[in-house]
Amino acid sequence: MSARLIDGKAAAARVLTEVATQVERLKAQGIEPALAVVLVGDDPASHVYVRNKVRSAGETGIRSLERRLPAETSAEALLAVIAELNADPLVNGILVQLPLPGHIDETRVLQAIDPHKDVDGFHSENVGGLSQGRPVLTPCTPAGCMRLLRDTLGDLSGKHAVVIGRSNIVGKPMAALLLAANCTVSVLHSRSRDAQALSRQADIVVAAIGRPRMIGADWIKPGAVVIDVGINRIEEDGRNRLVGDVDFDAVLPVASAITPVPGGVGPMTIALLMHNTVTAARQQHGQESV
C-alpha cells in the first residue's frame, strides 16, 4: 500500500478562493481588509515568505503594507512601528515575520501587537483564548494542518493524535486545536520516554520538531495520517534540498495519507494568514467570523 498524498497547494488554493469571495463582499460594504507585514533583517527565507504573503494578499484583494527594517533596528524602533500600525484604523492585521534578530526579545514584540490585529495568533490573549475554546485569531500553521486533517478524515472526534514538538508557534497550538476537535492528544518532546512507541499508537501524527527526516516508518501505525510541518534545508548529493521532519520515502508505504515537503503544510500557512486577516477585518467591524 502507498499513502495518499495530501495536496497542500490545492487545499491552499481553495482557501484563497474562499478568502477572495469574502474580501469582495467586504469591499461591497466599503471595508477594504488590510494586512501590515513587518520584516526585520536579512534572513533569506523570511524575505521569500514575506514576498509570498504580499503576493497572496494581492491575489485575494487584501491591501498590504510592508515595513522592512534593517537587522540592526533597536527593539524600541520596532515597537514604535507596531504602535503606529496598532493605531491605524485602516490596518486590520499585523504580522512580524519570525525569527527576529537575536538582540530583540520576540515575546516583548509579539505582546505589543493589538490582539485584535494579531493575525498570527501569537499574543497571549489569543493563546489563552484558544485554550479556552474562544473564537480568537489562531496560529496559521496549526490552523492549516487542521484544515488538511478535516479534508482527509472528516470528523476527528475520538482520534488519537500525537504532536511531536512543543513550540509556541506550532506544537502547543496544534495540541489545543486537536483537543478542541475532540481528539485524544499526546504531545511528545525531547524528554518524552518511549516516544516512538507512543507515536506508533496514533491515528494522526503531526511532526513539528525541526529535525530533517527524524520520523521514520517505525514511528507510524499502519494506516495513520501523517502531517509534516518541518521545513529543513539540507545539502545532499551536492544539491540543496528542502525536506521535512518525516522520512517521506520510508513512511509512504505505512501511512494512509501524508503531506509532502514542499507542497504540504507550507502553502496552507500563507492561505490561513489571509483567512485570519479577513476574520480580523470582520471582527473589527462587528461582524461574525465565517
Ligand X SMILES: Nc1nc2c(c(=O)[nH]1)N[C@@H](CN(C=O)c1ccc(C(=O)N[C@@H](CCC(=O)O)C(=O)O)cc1)CN2
d(CA 142, CA 139): 6
To the nearest 10°, report the CA torsion of 216, 220, 224, 227. -40
Counting contacts by CB under 6 A, is residue 49 touching ligand X? yes
- Residue 231 annotated as binding site: yes
Using CB under 6 A, which of 56, 60, 64, 141 touches ligand X? 141
Counting contacts by CB under 6 A, is residue 97 touching ligand X? yes
Counting contacts by CB under 6 A, is residue 101 touching ligand X? no
d(CA 63, CA 108): 27
The one catalytic residue in 22, 97, 203, 228 is 97
The one catalytic residue in 53, 117, 159, 172 is 53
The one catalytic residue in 114, 118, 120, 247 is 120
- Residue 166 annotated as binding site: yes
97 is catalytic: yes
Cell of 61: 484583494
- Residue 124 annotated as binding site: no
120 is catalytic: yes
Question: Residue holding cell 520510508?
Answer: 250
Stretch that binds ligand X, among 85-93, 125-133, 194-202, 263-271 (CB under 6 A): 263-271
Question: Residue holding cell 529543513?
Answer: 232
Strand runs (DSSP E) across 106-245, as ranges? Answer: 160-164, 184-188, 204-207, 225-228, 232-236, 239-243
196 is catalytic: no
Using CB under 6 A, which of 120, 203, 228, 245 touches ligand X? 120
Strands 239-243 and 232-236: antiparallel
Q: Which residues bind ligand X (CB under 6 A)?
A: 45, 48-49, 95-98, 120, 140-141, 231, 242, 261-263, 266-267, 269-270
Annotated binding site: 165-167, 231
